[in-house]
Amino acid sequence: MEDNAERTPLFTFGVIADIQYADIDDGFNYSKTRMRFYRGSLQLLRNAQASWSEAATKPDFILQLGDVIDGFNKRHDASDGALDSVLREFSSSPVEVHHVWGNHEFYNFSRSELLRSKLNSSAAHGGSSPSGARGGCDTHAYHFSPSPGFTFVVLDAYDVSLLGRDESSEQYCSAMNIIKQYNNNKDLNCPPVGGSLQQRFTMFNGGFSRKQLDWLDSVLSLADDKEDRVTIVSHLPVHPYSTVPVCLAWNFDELLAIIRSHSSVVCFLAGHDHDGGYCWDKETGVHHLTLEGVIETPPNSNAFGLVSVYKDRMVLKGSGRIRDRVLQFSQSDV
């Protein structure tokens, strides 16, 4: 018979991705293959909140995986109002929310505005390590521990990007050098043709700076020593089998190399690819889960999850488009 410790989770958390709320009529994605439900996304967030607050074991925190409001808000001068609307929904329950930054955050706000905004969850929740170390001075990367033995690392996948960087800055210049090596299109949002993995070099993607990678490496070394189980959270996926090439982080390979050099990582959670994806990396035992996006979820469905964490596994209870999964930790993970 299962003992109590097996049945009662150590902690639980909610997950939701790509809400992309805007008070505008429904429309299509760029390639006209998927409908986007801009107003409906707020109701789906409401559904998620209602479900989380009615759950037998309520979540200890929520992971919002980025693109919380859509870039269209900017052209309607509605960015602040749209952000208020989604944050009001999140604050309908007292549970803390960790916000990941995606490309649509940068369509609406500058990096310095984001750092001063309520989307800067590193200010509210970060620095649980003794040093309070973060991934870089204006990088939205931090870690926290919701329960002994578990670490969550929030990454900033637009640290190296044309988005959110001033055109006169060195960071913009070096991001431009990177993208230009692979993308010759006049419109840099248009993916390059050629090797399929090269499609990731678009303006709506980005990557992790050396500084952020080194910081992650040091956080994971500490976690290895403590035998913690680490979940990494990012807007952009990093495993090619967990998404389509056009949604990958620019330097996904460097991030994967760091994960491979540490025993502590058990899971990598991402958004961005609205169709979602999943793979289990046999080599590392890491589960790479890309969550289906709210924005492309019809009003009669849902796209959120509740994850219960046990000492040997995480159990995802999905709603609507998100399927249930058991993410077992490998024996060799600690």
Ligand X SMILES: Nc1ncnc2c1ncn2[C@@H]1O[C@H](COP(=O)(O)OP(=O)(O)O)[C@@H](O)[C@H]1O
Instruction: Give the angle subtended at the CA of 47 by the CAs of 46 and 53, to the nearest 5°.
Output: 90
DSSP codes, 113-165: HHHHSTT-HHHHH---STT---SSTT---EEEEEETTEEEEE--TTSBSSTTS
Q: Strand pairing partners for 27?
A: 36
12 near ligand X, rule: CB under 6 A:
no
Do residues 16 and 65 make contact, with C-beta atoms less than 8 angstroms apart?
yes
Instruction: Identify which of 71, 117, 126, 79 has the alpha carbon closest to the alpha carbon of residue 98.
Output: 126
Could you tell me the smallest distance in angstroms from the CB atom of residue 279 to ligand X? 20
Instruction: Identify which of 235, 225, 220 has the alpha carbon closest to the alpha carbon of residue 286.
Output: 220
Single out the residue of 1, 4, 30, 94 in contact with ligand X (rule: CB under 6 A). Answer: 30
261 near ligand X, rule: CB under 6 A:
no
Do residues 110 and 76 make contact, with C-beta atoms less than 8 angstroms apart?
no
Could you tell me the smallest distance in angstroms from the CB atom of residue 235 to ligand X? 9
Name residues contacting ligand X, limited to 102-121 (CB under 6 A): 103-104
Could you tell me the smallest distance in angstroms from the CB atom of residue 60 to ligand X? 28
Tokens representing residue 71 in the block: 């870039």
- Stretch of 48-56, 57-65, 156-164, 182-190 contacting ligand X, by CB under 6 A: 182-190
How far apart (Å, rounded) are the C-alpha atoms in residues 40 and 287? 30
Size of the residue set binding ligand X (CB under 6 A) = 11
Nearer to ligand X, 104 or 321 (CB): 104
Nearer to ligand X, 14 or 191 (CB): 191
169 near ligand X, rule: CB under 6 A:
no
DSSP codes, 267-311: EEEE-S-TT-EEEEETTTTEEEEEPPPGGGS-TTS-EEEEEEE-S
Nearer to ligand X, 19 or 63 (CB): 19
Single out the residue of 189, 218, 221, 261 in contact with ligand X (rule: CB under 6 A). Answer: 189
50 near ligand X, rule: CB under 6 A:
no
Single out the residue of 2, 25, 187, 225 in contact with ligand X (rule: CB under 6 A). Answer: 187
Single out the residue of 8, 29, 92, 181 in contact with ligand X (rule: CB under 6 A). Answer: 29
Do residues 155 and 249 make contact, with C-beta atoms less than 8 angstroms apart?
no
Residue of this chain nearest to ligand X (CB atom): 189
Binding mask 77-106 for ligand X (x = CB under 6 A): --------------------------xx--
The footprint of ligand X (CB under 6 A) covers 29-30, 67, 103-104, 187, 189-191, 204, 272
